[in-house]
Amino acid sequence: MTNKRHIATPKRTNEILKKYGFFFKKSLGQNFLIDVNILENIIKHAGIDKTSGAIEIGPGIGALTEQLAIHAKNVVAFEIDQRLLPILNDTLSDYSNVNVIHQDILEANVKEVIDTHFSSDQEIHIVANLPYYITTPILTKLLRDRLPVSSYTVMIQKEVADRMAAKPNTKSYGSLTIAMQYYTHAEVVMHVPKSVFMPQPNVDSSILKLTTRAHPPVDVLDESFFFRIVQASFAQRRKTLRNNLTSHFKEKYNKETISTILERIGIDGTRRGESLTMEEFATLANAFFKLSNE
């Protein structure tokens, strides 16, 4: 297939939209990519090769799906918008290695889809241009489901990508950072200009690569409690750790009890949540979990 025929060009995209009378739904966060070079870079960063299985979320008219079909062994794409199904049937008709599933990814049993469509020895990668309004719920669900997936390479809002890949003591570092980095190694691999989308979004974009960890980097006694403590520590960013925890535990412990625990584990209560490493959050959560279960 020559470059002229690629879906991801302004001319071909416009032809497809016109042919089907398709209009963008703002409620679905639809912004289609119109630059083949960007797509090829995404594939490269994802580590896709001819043995890989690929899962896409929100294929649109098939711009990224087409590139995945060219480079991967087989592709499964989840599309929520019924209007796009006949379009995808047309634009991807040359590729027998693509399955489009009409389903909301937040309601899908992705593990079951993986078992059905991919072989057990295949390396599977999730690759997507995610709708910006629902990026965090999608990634959180997929990571918590602990899917047999090697990596997630996603186009998302730059500000959110920065938060997911942030380091301690930075403005972007917060509970979202911890949630992502507990399950994966997070890295912003590329920034993407607004001009490569149709229609152009109002925000800048980045490609974030999340490489799945075999095991979390810290040992916690209770995962959900750990995440509760992290969220509590960032509840009001300007407040000290001691004050945030006192607000969170007001029904159970007073300030003195909280100060005693913090002293015992060697964490200064006057610090703010953004200064704590994941290891320190694990120590903090484990100490309070033990206390709660005494």
Annotated binding-site ranges for S-adenosyl-L-methionine: 31, 33, 58, 79, 104, 129
Rounded CA separation 54/228 (Å): 33
List of residues 6+ apart from 268 with CB closer than 8 A: 241, 262
CB 285 within 8 A of CB 221: yes
Residue 191's SS3 state is strand
**Tokens standing for 209?**
């690569």
Residue 181 CB neighbours (<10 A): 21
Rounded CA separation 218/280 (Å): 9
With the C-alpha atoms ordered 102, 106, 108, 114, is the resulting torsion angle positive or negative? positive
Phi, psi at 258, each rounded to 5°: -65, -40
CB 187 within 8 A of CB 208: yes
- Provide the annotated binding site: 31, 33, 58, 79, 104, 129
Residue 255's SS3 state is helix
CB 92 within 8 A of CB 98: yes
